[in-house]
Every structure is written in structure tokens, then in C-alpha cells.
Amino acid sequence: MVDIYQQHEAAFAQVSAYVILKDGERVATVAFKFPRDGAGRLWAYVHWIGNEMVRGHAGGYGYDKRTAAVVSAANKYMVQEAKAAEAIGDHSSYLREPVKRAFWEAIVKDGGHTWDSALRDAGFTVLQAI
């Protein structure tokens, strides 16, 4: 009989997931689906609780694909938010909530930060769930 931990490891071998907290409250989740060969596309699923989830990807070798995929997803979210604000004619509503704005601005930060360290630097707690 296969050990339950071996089953879990096999089931989630190409997946990792994180819970993002602000002041002890869950505000977002980030999940990754890794390519089997290491060279294919790595997918990032970023979900700010209460908004539609976004997905981004990165491919290739030799760099932090997780951060690149999160940035890809975050850029899609920013476009989505801008279009929603434009549709209702209220450009001032674009990322009005300070915590939400801090989250998205942190994960699109460029300059050598990893996605999770940028969030920690912005005051968020990043917990790996899987």
C-alpha cells in the first residue's frame, strides 16, 4: 500500500499554492502550475478575494519564472481594472482600496524582488499551503 504522504507528493508534484494575509486576514491566493520538463510554461493564478482570478505565464530557462508569471497575471489584472473603471466612467475607482493597491503594486515591482519578498516588504504575510 502506498503511503498517504507519497500519494500527496505525487498528486501535487507540479503545483504550489500560497495564501496571502494582511493583518491576519486572508486577502489573496497565488497558485503555480509547473511544467513537467522545467522548460515549458509555468502558470501563475493570482486571486484577490472578491475579484475575478487572473492567470499569467512565463517560459524558458535561467530566471525566476514564478515572479515573471505573477507579474504577467498582475498586468492582466491592472488592464482588467482599468477597463472596468472606464466602463462605469469612474477612473477614480481604479484600485482605490489601499490594501488592494499595495498588493498589486508590490507584485508588479521590478528590480530584483521576488513576488513573495515584494509582498512581505509591503507588509503582507505569505504562507505556502502546498
In the chain, what are the domain boundaries? Answer: 4-128
The answer to whether residues 93 and 53 touch, using CB atoms and an 8 Å cutoff, is no
**Predicted local confidence at residue 83, as pLDDT:** 81
Specify whether the CB–CB gap between 115 and 70 falls below 8 A: yes
Closest to 28 (Cα-Cα) out of 110, 84, 97, 86: 97
pLDDT in tens, 28-73: 999 999 998 877 899 999 999 998 999 999 988 878 899 999 999 9
Higher pLDDT, 67 or 113: 67
Whole-prediction pTM value? 0.87
Identify the weakest region by mean pLDDT among 18-27, 42-51, 88-97, 109-118: 88-97
Task: Please check whether residue 48 is in contact with residue 30, taking contact to mean a CB–CB distance below 8 angstroms.
Answer: no
